[in-house]
Every structure is written in structure tokens, then in C-alpha cells.
Amino acid sequence: MSPEPLLLIPGLMCDRAVWQPVISELAAVRECQVLEPGAEDDLAAMASGVLRHAPERFALAGHSMGARVALELLRQAPGRVSRIALLDTGYQARASGAAGIAEARKRQALLELAREHGVQAMARNWVQGMVLPARLADATLIDAIVAMFARKSAFTFARQIQALLQRPDASAVLGSIHVPALVACGRQDNWAPLAQHEAMRALIPGARLAVFEHAGHMAPMERPQAVARELLRWLAAPA
């Protein structure tokens, strides 16, 4: 019997391109399917949309917002998920008080930039804090990230931001996981830092934590071979 396919979910304003370098490493051992979250303004609705097109049973990996969608998918259909990997992400609801207000303002400023000057201009701004600083001079990497964002609209950006600002706390979902689980991030991910992933690992029974050296938030594009290596190890773990 062939192993179940690997379902890969991209994050905010991302598409297949965020996973493509990793798929190139994984395709020889596992069928890979990429399902993008839609333009819904709710993570649970995004998860429902993904489930409608997903195989009956699958291994599941999400990056950034895609990992939050993966957790909502697991909340809705735990029996369909054979294992789960959560990369460069978080699990808590938006903070209350000043911290939550500051996050909303930061996201709103990026949205206004996208509306006034275009998504590409916004992406050029956004990417400055999302990759390892030394990689900002890597035109191939940066252009690929910016082009990926530019394939989405400001409307989609607005809807996905709203979904993230209204994100639910997923602590209970993490505690309910009883399949092979991987939590991983770039060492220099300043948006979803290592400490956040250590907390997630502590909530998931038997989870393994992996850290990608010399990578920021966009680890699958920054260090695809390292990411693929950890995913292969996770896929090989006994069920």
C-alpha cells in the first residue's frame, strides 16, 4: 500500500512557490499536494475549504499562517490526519491590550501600503524582516518571494489579515495531537521565534523540535534542503 499523500499548506499571501524547493527533494518518496488557503476572513473557513479538496487521509504540513490553518483542519477532522508538521508559526490568539493593538496597526500599515502602492511594493517592505538579513542581497530569493506575493491581490491580503487578527487559541488542539508531530522554525525567525516553537513542542505529546540554521521566517525557501531533510525524518517516523 502506498503511503498517504503529503498535503502542504502555504502561508499568508503565499502559493505553491513557498513549498516548491522542498517538493523537489520530497517527490521521490512521497506524493505532494499543495492546497492554498482561500480568501476567507476566518481560519476555520479556510480549513473547511482545504478539507473539501483534500485526500481522505494525509500527512499534513503548514508554513506560517498555513500551519494555523493546519491546526484548524486538525480540529475539524482529526481522523484524516496521519501526522502533522508546523513550521514558522504560532498557536496563541492575538494578545489583548497594547500588544494586540500594535500587531493590528502593523498589519494595517502593510495593507495600506498594498492598497496605495501595490502588493509588490508591500512585499518589498515586508520581506526585509522575514528572511535572514544576509540573504537580503540574494536577488533570486527575494525576487521569488516578492513575485509570489504579487500574484495575490490586496483584497486577499485584507481578508487573510482579518483571519489572522481573529485567530483562535490552538493550545487545546496541540494537546490533542497523538500522531507524529514536528515543530520547526528558522533560527533567526523574528516573527515566529524559537521560544514560541519550544512552547508548542511542550504542548504536543512526543513532538520533535527542529531548528533550521541560517534561516528566518521563510525557511522553506531559504533553506529547502534542511527543511526537506527534517520532513523526510518526520515522514519516516513510526505512526
Query: What does the pLDDT read at residue 38?
Result: 86
pLDDT digits (tens, 9 = 90+) for 138-168: 999 999 999 999 999 999 999 999 999 999 9
Q: Give me 233's grid cell.
A: 525524518
pLDDT digits (tens, 9 = 90+) for 61-91: 999 999 999 999 999 999 999 999 999 999 9
For all residues of the chain together, what is the average pLDDT? 96
Per-residue confidence at 10, pLDDT binned at 50, 70, 90? Answer: very high
pTM of the predicted model over 0.85:
yes
User: What is the arithmetic mean of pLDDT over 88-115?
Assistant: 96
Q: Does domain 6-94+169-236 have CATH number 3.40.50.1820?
A: yes
Domain-wise residue ranges, the chain: 6-94+169-236, 97-161
Distance CA 3, CA 23 (A): 16
Q: Which long-range contacts (CB under 8 A, 24 or more apart) does 193-202 make?
A: 196/90, 196/91, 197/86, 197/89, 199/91, 200/86, 200/89, 200/90, 200/91, 200/174
Per DSSP bridges, beta strands 81-87 and 58-63 are: parallel
User: What is the arithmetic mean of pLDDT over 229-237?
Assistant: 97
Q: Around 18, how many Cα atoms within 13 Å sit in the side-chain half-sphere?
A: 27
Largest CA-CA distance found in the chain, in angstroms, rounded? 53
Angle value at C-alpha 222, between 218 and 225, nearest 5 degrees: 120
Query: What does the pLDDT read at residue 232?
Result: 97
Nearest to 16, CA basis, from 54, 51, 66:
66
pLDDT digits (tens, 9 = 90+) for 174-227: 999 999 999 999 999 999 999 999 999 999 999 999 999 999 999 999 999 999
Query: What does the pLDDT read at residue 1?
Result: 60
Residue environment code for 89-107, b if the CB has 16+ CB neighbours within 10 A, otherwise e: bbbeebeeeeeeeeeeeeb
Q: How many other C-beta atoms are found inside a 10 Å radius of the C-beta of residue 116? A: 10
Nearest to 3, CA basis, from 25, 24, 23, 32:
32
Q: Give me 222's grid cell.
A: 531559504
Query: What does the pLDDT read at residue 239?
Result: 86
Distance CA 125, CA 114 (A): 10
pLDDT digits (tens, 9 = 90+) for 24-42: 899 999 999 999 998 899 9
Q: What percent of the chain has pLDDT over 90?
A: 96
Q: How many other C-beta atoms are found inside a 10 Å radius of the C-beta of residue 12? A: 20
Q: Which of 2-6, 18-22, 117-121 has the lowest mean pLDDT?
A: 2-6
Q: Give me 141's grid cell.
A: 530569493
